[in-house]
Structure 1
């Protein structure tokens, strides 16, 4: 296993390691929100108004108004009827899984996040393409009373977007539920950061649900469930939701008031990603990406070489500690043109 690189501070584009500054191309804060000065000011406003934490139940008789305000904004952003915030993306996934795992037939895509995978579940299908073929065949040959399809939208480690077009071929004579994990798309991809929700089929026989961490592009320590008002209300009555503390309200205050910040940072990231992609175009057999701010590098030895140039990449074994490292460049909107040029020059030298 590669050595863990312990750092003592993080500016978004640089870190301190052993009191030395390194350019860093890792993490998931794609829009640089944790280091955004204007967002931090909004967060401080939220702390002044709501305090640093709120440990009560959302089903209590005294509840802050910011939750409904933020959830209405999130539903509008996604394009769903309703939305619900919780304290983590993991909890969002678990709450949705609890809605179905004891009675529905579940189709679970390879590589799904553990939050959406039943305990001890083992998939016998290795590739996404084979799995989609299997799902379509099963749905056309069996009349399940209720079937739920769980799938990722992005393989962020391989810097690939999953093809969702096959969902348009689902049968229309069954009650189906599609659950997508859009943690690496929501807030980043599509108009106003809507993510992949607009790509899901609209049909009276298909229910759509999105779960997502909000700790990636949006920079919020929480999770979201988006879907129908009926589904959201059912989840609100789940004892796990009732008994859990909610997302810190100050962050939702910052989110509601930061919409122009998010749009500006999305544009900055698009510009810096395009510039970097042009610079490394000659390396496209070794470095791959499907329109994402993440680039997979098929050369694990590069990390040690770049370390000598004070450049840190994302590189760690996956899916198990015994696996080969997955090495990636992760860009965010705090990176400058000079940063990615320095990185590109180093990659062109060694690859």
Structure 2
């Protein structure tokens, strides 16, 4: 157990977080077939969820469940070892090949999580003497990975390619520009074309984490790089996750032969962990095929995003400039965000309030996410509830 002094210090810090409206609490969310595809039972209350990253509505598609169960029955549930020991099976290999073909890169390498993929990528490619320029609003895993690599890390103004160039100045063995493709809390897209041009002109490597763009943006959902008019050759490596638009779990890095083989040899988060369960790889292969064969999912998302933004603008809500399924409604203070989320929950709508340190102080928000599992009537219901919350706050003088 922790010492009494440490326990008391931890208790005081937890109290501080509570008083500052920054304390995080888990809710228990469950789905069953009698619910709608965008519904959950959350702490015992049936809710329409607007906080999932299941952008294409595949997480509860029975075809994925069938693929997972079929493979588990015939091949077992676990890989039993790391990829390089005895855990790399036919489903893993097939999924890697299909992900490489989907993204247009020569190879892809599976990781257990997106966090591990970013740690492995930066840890294998960057080291002391290198220089990494990171967007100020990059995901925490990218920032942590750069710091742990031992390279010099410089953060540039959000989505500002000129600022990225300025941060590349100075002596370095190797230079990297690292960015999200779609920023997870703001929902906007990185200026990838400008960043790729900057990388070419300054002999830098461009690394893109497209966790929230793959499956959603670009031709056939191939992601932010394609949506920006770029080719795989313009990017050193692409990171993608499988637990968002593709509805399963895990992640991958796509890149050239030398990059991927370097990860196999040097990425500690790949080498020293158990390979993902093969049935999940089978389910992900099915998800990838469905996502490509059913473009109506992306078309519906576009319709829902436009409908929500039009309605929110009519209500005078403070939106960020996002054309993606991530639609943040700014609240300002953490207290206001918590109160608004609680009011929506009482109305049967689950929206997560996002507060510092996840986002900068003073920018607390409701992070609304849309899915192909939603209907237009669901969006209208959300807008009606948001109008009620806004009206109540106006009456209270907030």
Q: Residues 96-138 of structure 1: CA distance to partner in whole angstroms, max 9, x if unpaired? A: 11121334222122122232231499977562255x3233245
Query: How far apart are the structure 2 equivalents of 1:216 and 1:33?
Result: 9
Query: How far apart are the structure 1 equivalents of 2:135 and 2:204?
Result: 15
Is the CA contact (8 Å cut-off) linking 1:56 and 1:246 kept in structure 2?
A: yes
Structure 1 54/23 Cα, relative in aligned 2: closer, same or farther at 3 Å? Answer: same
Tell me which residue corresponds to 2:274.
245
Pick the structure with more helix per residue.
2
Q: Which of the numbers 325, 334, 343 marks the counterpart of 1:293?
A: 325
Tell me which residue corresponds to 1:302.
340
Is the CA contact (8 Å cut-off) linking 1:15 and 1:22 kept in structure 2?
A: yes
Q: Does residue 286 of structure 2 align to residue 257 of structure 1? A: yes
TM-score by length of 2: 0.77
Is the CA contact (8 Å cut-off) linking 2:179 and 2:190 kept in structure 1?
A: no
Query: How far apart are the structure 2 equivalents of 1:88 and 1:326?
Result: 26
Is the CA contact (8 Å cut-off) linking 2:119 and 2:142 kept in structure 1?
A: yes
Give 3-state SS (helix, strand or coil) of 1:154's partner: coil
**Superposition CA RMSD, Å:** 3.0
Q: Which of the numbers 193, 212, 224 marks the counterpart of 1:196?
A: 224
Q: How does 1:306-317 map to 2 (within 5 A)?
A: 306-317=344-355
Is the CA contact (8 Å cut-off) linking 2:242 and 2:284 kept in structure 1?
A: no
Tell me which residue corresponds to 1:147.
175
Contiguous gaps of at least 5 residues in structure 2 = 1-20, 332-336, 391-398
Displacement of 1:156: 2.2
Query: How far apart are the structure 2 equivalents of 1:4 and 1:173?
Result: 46
Structure 1 138/71 Cα, relative in aligned 2: closer, same or farther at 3 Å? Answer: same
Q: Does residue 304 of structure 2 align to residue 272 of structure 1? A: yes
Give 3-state SS (helix, strand or coil) of 1:38's partner: helix
Contiguous gaps of at least 5 residues in structure 1 = none
Q: How does 1:173-212 map to 2 (within 5 A)?
A: 175-198=203-226, 199=228, 208-212=236-240
Q: Does residue 361 of structure 2 align to residue 336 of structure 1? A: no
Relative contact order: is structure 1 or structure 2 higher (C-alpha 8 Å, sep ≥ 6)?
1
Give 3-state SS (helix, strand or coil) of 1:35's partner: coil
Structure 1 102/50 Cα, relative in aligned 2: closer, same or farther at 3 Å? Answer: farther
Is the CA contact (8 Å cut-off) linking 1:190 and 1:196 kept in structure 2?
A: yes
TM-score by length of 1: 0.87
Q: Residues 276-306 of structure 1: CA distance to partner in whole angstroms, max 9, x if unpaired? A: 3344341365234521112111233432332
Tell me which residue corresponds to 2:158.
128
Q: Residues 141-161 of structure 1: CA distance to partner in whole angstroms, max 9, x if unpaired? A: 656442111111222212222
Q: Residues 30-73 of structure 1: CA distance to partner in whole angstroms, max 9, x if unpaired? A: 12222112211111112123311112222236742222211111
Tell me which residue corresponds to 1:34.
59
Tell me which residue corresponds to 1:94.
119
Is the CA contact (8 Å cut-off) linking 1:67 and 1:252 kept in structure 2?
A: yes
Query: How far apart are the structure 1 equivalents of 2:191 and 2:360?
Result: 29
Displacement of 1:330: 1.2
Q: Does residue 44 of structure 2 align to residue 19 of structure 1? A: yes
Displacement of 1:349: 3.6
User: How many residues are aligned here?
Assistant: 348
Is the CA contact (8 Å cut-off) linking 2:107 and 2:256 kept in structure 1?
A: yes
Q: Which of the numbers 62, 65, 77 marks the counterpart of 1:52?
A: 77
